[in-house]
Chain A
Amino acid sequence: MSAIEAVELRKRFISYERVGLIKRRKTVVNALNGVSLNVKWGEVYGLLGPNGAGKTTTVKILSTLLIPDSGFARINGLDVVKEARRVRGIIGLVLYPDKGFYSRLSGFENLVYFGRLYGLSRSKAEERARELLKLVNLDWAANRLYEEYSLGMRARLSIARALIHDPPVIFLDEPTIGLDPVSSRAIRDLIKGLKKEGRAILLTSHNLWEVEEVCDRVGIISSGRVLMEGSPRDIKDRLGLRYTIEVEVEGDSRGRVIRVETTDPVTELKRIMSEVEGSGLRIGRIRVSEPSLEEAYVRVVSG
């Protein structure tokens, strides 16, 4: 059984635009146009897409905060609409990493409160809060009021809240947005650790290199449709993106660099090496640059 399963999710929003002083014009926004995806246990699935592509809408439907117009979604076999309360007990959610807590309570008090709302006993909630504050490296600020937390600390506290009831499925909607490199790295390491524990994680982000680093599979979404899905490498291969091979040749009067772009780096590298060795020269250094997920993303999204 998949941890997260979404089939043909469709969602339409009606919004109103101001036209003049009083008049409003009704507009229909098709946020999702048949999104389907599957996330297995122990897998990190990255949902990539431009602003307004439908990433957050998908996360909200999967986390029971929105009801889809059609299609269905299941978390660990439970329907997100019909069994919403049971689903809520097994998912952790990071929606707005920079807010969503009580500013007049400390980080510890906030976590204990949400732990109680997730059904933990008081002592268990306190125990988990202490553990998680240590895990996200906030134990030193446990008793500090939330309003005094920096953005990075708030983001880490959001992740701690998502884990307070030890959920097997976690949704992270842009968890590193606006964070400094050190905090982002800490969160990426945390995600990798959660994956090792066998949890299923759905992550949305605009940082493509970050997604490439932590995600096993990626879905590129645009205009409410998943346009391409697969592992980052798989996507790059399918798009025929080129690797760059640079070989420094020595033994000549002056060193030179052979630079080749190819879709098949192994065969090409073998060919270059045999050519160089055949001509009595030595290979100094080899560098193979993989095409980035960013290139793949730009190509998919721009059609």
Chain B
Amino acid sequence: MRPRDRLSLLWDIMLNEFKIIAREPGGLAILLLMPYLVAGGMAFMASFFTRISGICFVREFIGFEVVMVSMIMVQTGARFISEERSGGRLEHLIATPTSMYMILFATSMVMVMVNLSAYLVASLPVVYGVFGVIGLLRLIPTLVIIFIGLMPLYGIGLALAGIVVRLRDVDALMNVIMALLSVLSGATYPIYILPKWVDAVVVALPMYQMYQTALGIVMGSGITGLIYGLAASTVAYLALGVFTYGRVERSMLKGGVK
């Protein structure tokens, strides 16, 4: 298949996924509003316990935003596989000549876009309120950072999707992983309070890198080193996801889709 045809197919898969999401407007609205409500709500609650400056609020807000979009992103692949399996579509998708990686990537890209929109809609008033117009201008490059940061999370999601294929109780697994990820995000609390080894795990996870880079841009501080770390993470986690999913798809073809 030519690259142009490949892109056109990718676009059509995304369009299809978007149609499905858009036909459940309640779900779409929740997706868009959730980060706003959660991030804003948590930061607002924190303001009762301590005196919160505008910058502090932005720091908390972006932290919760990153956690929210990360959770949605990590779950996307696994939920997709689980839903396709229960709807009897998974085998029909595998039976087409289109690679499952492409289908998973395209459907996840839709979630990336929804996440970016949610991030933008939620952040605009907060950033404008604290930094003014310059804050809005700084918000644009953070969209690129969030986009890049969601890629390694897609990789983690792909690895999880591979595991989900073998399990029945997807929700229980997801709940455990989400709880772990939110604790290990390092985006909503200062990580120096953690033991050294947990600190190392947090720094190695893409959420922390995404948070620090996005925050650095909004605050107007240097981010060069952080960008390298995020890029390395993207490559490493995507490779891990592709490898894990590939192995599990092979084992699924040996044992059958259950």
With A13-B255, A66-B256, A101-B89 already in contact, the answer to whether A117 and B20 are too (CB < 8 A) is no
Bound state CA distance, A13 and B103, in angstroms?
Answer: 28
Shortest distance between the CB of A298 and any CB in chain B (Å): 29
B93 contacts partner chain A, Cβ-Cβ < 8 Å: yes
Contact B95 A102, beta carbon cutoff 8 Å:
no
Interface size class of A (residues with CB under 8 A): 20 to 34
**Binary CB contact string for chain B from 82 to 124 against chain A (1 if under 8 A, 0 otherwise):** 0000011101111111100001000000000000000000000
B169 contacts partner chain A, Cβ-Cβ < 8 Å: no
Contact B95 A64, beta carbon cutoff 8 Å:
yes
Bound state CA distance, A105 and B15, in angstroms?
Answer: 12
Bound state CA distance, A113 and B93, in angstroms?
Answer: 11
Bound state CA distance, A231 and B229, in angstroms?
Answer: 67
Contacts of A105 in B (CB 8 A): 16, 19-20
Bound state CA distance, A104 and B94, in angstroms?
Answer: 20
Chain A, residue nearest B87 (CB): A99
Contact B98 A65, beta carbon cutoff 8 Å:
no
**Chain B interface helix/strand/loop/mixed:** helix
With A105-B19, A105-B20 already in contact, the answer to whether A85 and B97 are too (CB < 8 A) is yes
With A95-B88, A99-B87, A104-B20 already in contact, the answer to whether A88 and B12 are too (CB < 8 A) is no
Q: Which of B8, B19, B97 contacts A122 (CB 8 A)?
A: B8
Q: Which of A65, A103, A122 contacts B95 (CB 8 A)?
A: A65
Shortest distance between the CB of A271 and any CB in chain B (Å): 55
Q: Which of B88, B91, B92, B255 contacts A114 (CB 8 A)?
A: B92
Contacts of A100 in B (CB 8 A): 87-89, 91-92
Contact B96 A88, beta carbon cutoff 8 Å:
yes
Contacts of B253 in A (CB 8 A): 64-67
Shortest distance between the CB of B83 and any CB in chain A (Å): 10
Contacts of A14 in B (CB 8 A): 255
B23 contacts partner chain A, Cβ-Cβ < 8 Å: yes
Contact B19 A65, beta carbon cutoff 8 Å:
no
Shortest distance between the CB of A52 and any CB in chain B (Å): 14
Contact A63 B95, beta carbon cutoff 8 Å:
yes
Shortest distance between the CB of A55 and any CB in chain B (Å): 14
Within 8 A of A (CB), among B1-59: 1, 5, 8-9, 12-13, 16, 19-20, 23-24
Contacts of B94 in A (CB 8 A): 64-65
Contact A104 B19, beta carbon cutoff 8 Å:
yes
B257 contacts partner chain A, Cβ-Cβ < 8 Å: yes
B254 contacts partner chain A, Cβ-Cβ < 8 Å: yes
Bound state CA distance, A137 and B74, in angstroms?
Answer: 42
A60 contacts partner chain B, Cβ-Cβ < 8 Å: yes
Chain A, residue nearest B86 (CB): A99
Bound state CA distance, A89 and B96, in angstroms?
Answer: 7
Bound state CA distance, A93 and B5, in angstroms?
Answer: 24
Contacts of A119 in B (CB 8 A): 1, 97-98
Bound state CA distance, A105 and B13, in angstroms?
Answer: 13
A43 contacts partner chain B, Cβ-Cβ < 8 Å: no
Shortest distance between the CB of B96 and any CB in chain A (Å): 4
Contacts of A66 in B (CB 8 A): 253-254, 256
**Binary CB contact string for chain B from 237 to 258 against chain A (1 if under 8 A, 0 otherwise):** 0000000000000000111110
Contacts of B103 in A (CB 8 A): 117
Q: Which of A64, A113, A121 contacts B16 (CB 8 A)?
A: A113
With A65-B95, A66-B254 already in contact, the answer to whether A109 and B19 are too (CB < 8 A) is yes
Chain A, residue nearest B91 (CB): A65
Q: Which of A93, A103, A113 contacts B12 (CB 8 A)?
A: A113
Contact A116 B12, beta carbon cutoff 8 Å:
yes
Contact B98 A104, beta carbon cutoff 8 Å:
no
Bound state CA distance, A114 and B97, in angstroms?
Answer: 10
Within 8 A of B (CB), among A170-204: none
Bound state CA distance, A64 and B249, in angstroms?
Answer: 12
Shortest distance between the CB of A63 and any CB in chain B (Å): 6
Q: Hey, which bits of chain B sit against chain A, CB under 8 A?
A: 1, 5, 8-9, 12-13, 16, 19-20, 23-24, 87-89, 91-98, 103, 253-257
Given A65-B256, A88-B95, A117-B13, 11 other A-B contacts at CB below 8 A? A65-B94, A65-B253, A91-B95, A93-B92, A95-B91, A95-B92, A100-B89, A100-B92, A117-B93, A119-B1, A161-B92
9 A-B contacts (beta carbon < 8 Å): A64-B253, A65-B256, A67-B253, A67-B254, A93-B92, A104-B24, A113-B12, A117-B9, A121-B5
Q: Hey, which bits of chain A sit against chain B, CB under 8 A?
A: 13-14, 57, 60, 63-67, 85-86, 88-89, 91, 93, 95-96, 99-105, 109, 113-114, 116-119, 121-122, 161
The 5 closest A-B pairs by CB, nearest first: A99-B88, A117-B96, A100-B88, A117-B98, A104-B23
